[in-house]
Amino acid sequence: MLEVLRENFSHLFEEELMVEISKVGMHLKVNKGDTLMELGSSVTHIPLLIDGAIKIFRLDDDYREQILYFLERGDTCALTLNGCLGKAQSEIKAVAEMDSELILVPAQYMESFLKYHSWSRFVFESFNNRLVELLEVIDSLAFMKLDERLYNYLRDKVLINSNQLLEITHNTIAQEMNTSRVVISRVLKKLELEHRIKLHRNKIEVIEI
């Protein structure tokens, strides 16, 4: 695992910290679609993403969901850190957007690693990134109409997957954005008429400008 850490985190962490992490961390591979954390499950580990992408959702009491952001290589999830400190059950869900690889660090090391400058810097920047992304979600929900929100959602997916051709169904989009399939189909059709996307069965092609 130390090798994996060196390959992926040497620009972030000092050698000594990577050694420490490799002693207590757990190396994990997950498949596309796997759920990593369910509503209210206690937060016992801090994830470090080695490869792939994880999407994070907010859940409400009726199991509706709202996508928040993606974690990518080098990211961690501040909401987890949050859970570590606050001891609160985090009502979020994490699902692998693609086959991914991560290291899980037991939450109790969170604070003790703060003596490493690179770790505290990493944690700070992570909080920072998450705050910014949550603000973007708020912008989207508060100020934008569904067509723009949907287009942004698709653009994000394109970036994460490094592919203009998305393999996704209308139904899945509807769930992730907390609306209904009919509405998504309607708005997608509108975006297609505006030549911003092309629709295929099970696939959506995003036309970049």
Q: What residue type is assigned to position 112 of the chain?
A: S
**Residue numbers at the binding site for its own copies (CB under 8 A):** 58, 60, 64, 66, 68, 78-79, 82, 85-86, 88, 114, 120, 124-125, 127-128, 130-132, 134-135, 137-139, 141-143, 178
Q: Which is nearer to its own copies, 45 or 130 (CB)?
A: 130
Distance of CA 122 to the CA centre of its chain: 17
Residues in contact with DNA, shown as a per-residue x/- string from 24 to 53 under the rule CB under 7 A: ------------------------------
Q: Which does 135 bind (CB under 5 to 8 A by kind): DNA, its own copies, none?
A: its own copies
Our measurement of the distance from residue 198's CA atom to the centroid of its chain's CA atoms, rounded to an integer in Å, reads 25
How buried is residue 9: exposed, middle or buried, by Cβ count under 10 Å (0-12/13-18/19+)?
Answer: buried
Q: Is 170 among the residues that bind DNA (CB under 7 A)?
A: yes
Tokens at residue 194, please?
């505006």
- Cβ proximity to its own copies: between 132 and 199 the closer is 132
Question: Which 174-203 residues touch DNA, going by CB under 7 A?
Answer: 178-183, 185-189, 199, 201-203
**Partner that binds at residue 162, options its own copies, DNA, none, CB closer than 5 to 8 Å by kind:** none
